[in-house]
Amino acid sequence: MSSERIFIFDTTLRDGEQSPGISLNSFEKLEIAEQLARLGVDVIEAGFPISSPGDFEGVRKIARSVRGVAVCALARAIENDVTTAWDAIKEAERPRIHTFISTSDVHLKHQLRKSRAEVLEIARKMVALAASLCDDVEFSAMDATRSDPDFLAGVLAAAVEEGARTINIPDTVGYAVPSEFSSFIRGQFERAPALNDVVVSVHCHNDLGLAVANSLAAIEAGATQIECAVNGLGERAGNASLEEIVMILETRRALLGPVTGVNTTEITRTSRLVSQLTGYDVQPNKAIVGKNAFAHESGIHQDGVLKERTTYEIMNAATVGRGQSDIVLGKHSGRHALKSAMEELGYRLQEEELNQAFAHFKKIADRKKQVTAVDLEHLVSEEVRELSDIFELKSYDVAASSDSVPASRVVIEKEGGRLAGKSESGGSMESIFKAIDNAVGAKGKLKDYQVRSVTEGKDSLGEVRVVVEVAEKPYAGAALSIDVVEASAKAYVRALNNAYRAGAVK
């Protein structure tokens, strides 16, 4: 093992955000970035600033306020991309520009329509440009694993020469197999000895379910940075899962050697926050963060664990931050109790935020006996979602019975003005959604509707997620309430907020 320390480069907000149906607003991105900083990742890839003004704003917000971690922005090897990336991150404590170009012949021929010599020249120029702006430059050779190893090594060596301090060798299409990948990485160290002077990184995709295994193989071959995402989010089948990489190194340290700087007890909370804000559920049997990852079902296993935990458990659930908090608040809990519970959970609320959170909390506590840590985390997600709302549900009224057509009325606030809408048709949810459409002046089509409870018990908070199609494009919305009708209406309004930001609703 060649290194003592593995750097964790988190790309949840860039590659993860490219997953279909995920569209995080800048407040949601900031909340996730703050949690990633608490988790202790080394680098946050905050976005791809040239891709849209919203993405630029999200990256800039993170660069301005998240501390103690490098904030990175992605840029194609194009001048305007690189300078725009720099504009977005230059106020970061530790800014990093990440620029990339394809090196495989298949990409050169069909996508870039450039020769190898041209690609080498562009890589040189753009790395040099990035290095003239920013001390910390990362260069990636897209589709590296399907590139000619000699040509690739030449490009990587040139990038180091021009000032790249991190060289990333991605398995962009998720094609590599671990034994093959580790010898590929070793081959690059041999062909381009300059790689010994920089951080060598890998970025593996999970198309064949091998992203984590390939990342580990690369570590064994000398890579010292792993690009990964929380819950394994990312394009197609996703990226290497952050929590799996970290817990493999943690659990098998005696065998493997190197360590990360991650505070593993923040893993569960990070996973939950990302899942709530992206709307991507974690499968129950997912390693480390799945609901059942530490549940023993068979009698023999249960018997063993009761006698001695290590009979069937290789990790202690507390190590990943499960079941640690015993925060319980109730309707008599005051502002101060809420503030200190939030602080225990890692959220530092400003006066105004605390007031808002307290008002929310009171509403929940009036109807729910015990407000737990999980409820409070959801309350934070709810607050974050609200920050960017243009339309806000002020009141609703729905009359439904088995013998009559449901009738709904809603009042929506928009920039201080009030919009009223009503509807009499369909089922009770349908009628309330139509009343909202009517108020806002939108034509929404409900494409997906999911309800789930946040905690256990009849008085659990309900979370509703919807996908609403407006002008033939899908917009997701989620909301939380003790009342499922209210949560549904708010989720629908939120989807219309997303449509509004995209210009699909006026």
The one-letter amino acid at 34: E
- Of 15 and 437, the one with the shorter C-beta distance to Zn ion is 15
Q: In which order are the strands placed within the sheet that holds 417-424?
A: 391-401, 404-414, 417-424
- From the CB of 149, what's the least distance to Zn ion, in Å? 21
| The token pair that represents 359 in the structure block | 């008002």
Q: How far apart are CA 370 and CA 482, in angstroms?
A: 12
- From the CB of 211, what's the least distance to Zn ion, in Å? 10
- From the CB of 239, what's the least distance to Zn ion, in Å? 6
Please list, residue by residue across 123-145, b when 16 or more beta carbons sit within 10 angstroms of its beta carbon and e when fewer do: bbebbbbbbebbebbbbbbbbbb
- From the CB of 276, what's the least distance to Zn ion, in Å? 23
Is residue 133 a contact partner of residue 165, using CB atoms and an 8 Å limit? Answer: no
- Of 240 and 464, the one with the shorter C-beta distance to Zn ion is 240
Closest CB to Zn ion: residue number? 15
Mark the segment that binds Zn ion (CB under 5 A) among 7-15, 274-282, 387-395, 453-461: 7-15
Location of structure tokens 């997620």: 465
- Beta partners for residue 463, in sequence order: 452, 480
Environment class of residue 216 by beta-carbon count within 10 Å: exposed (0-12), middle (13-18) or buried (19+)? buried
- From the CB of 144, what's the least distance to Zn ion, in Å? 12
Q: How many residues bind Zn ion, per CB under 5 A?
A: 1
- Of 147 and 268, the one with the shorter C-beta distance to Zn ion is 147
- Of 240 and 495, the one with the shorter C-beta distance to Zn ion is 240
- From the CB of 439, what's the least distance to Zn ion, in Å? 41
For Cα atoms 472, 31, 83, give the angle at the middle one, nearest 5 degrees. Answer: 75
Q: How far apart are CA 280 and CA 450, in angstroms?
A: 12
- Of 205 and 368, the one with the shorter C-beta distance to Zn ion is 205
- Of 15 and 143, the one with the shorter C-beta distance to Zn ion is 15
Between β-strands 404-414 and 391-401, what pairing exists: parallel, antiparallel or unpaired? Answer: antiparallel
- From the CB of 172, what's the least distance to Zn ion, in Å? 6
Backbone dihedral region of 143: left (phi > 0), alpha (psi from -120 to 50 degrees) or beta?
left
- Of 15 and 382, the one with the shorter C-beta distance to Zn ion is 15
- Of 42 and 463, the one with the shorter C-beta distance to Zn ion is 42
Q: What beta strand segments (E) does 93-236 contain? A: 94-102, 137-142, 166-171, 199-204, 225-228
- From the CB of 97, what's the least distance to Zn ion, in Å? 17
List the interface residues with Zn ion, window 162-181 (CB under 5 A): none
- From the CB of 70, what's the least distance to Zn ion, in Å? 18
Half-sphere exposure of 9 (CA within 13 A, CB side): 28
**C-alpha pair distances (Å), 80 with each of 59, 83, 90:** 16, 5, 15
| The token pair that represents 353 in the structure block | 């935020």
Site track for Zn ion across 9-48, x = CB under 5 A: ------x---------------------------------
Mark the segment that binds Zn ion (CB under 5 A) among 8-16, 194-202, 217-225, 498-506: 8-16
- From the CB of 198, what's the least distance to Zn ion, in Å? 20
Enumerate residues 6+ apart whose C-beta is below 8 A from 180: none
- Of 168 and 481, the one with the shorter C-beta distance to Zn ion is 168
Q: How far apart are CA 332 and CA 322, in angstroms?
A: 27
- Of 236 and 253, the one with the shorter C-beta distance to Zn ion is 236
Residues that bind Zn ion (CB under 5 A): 15
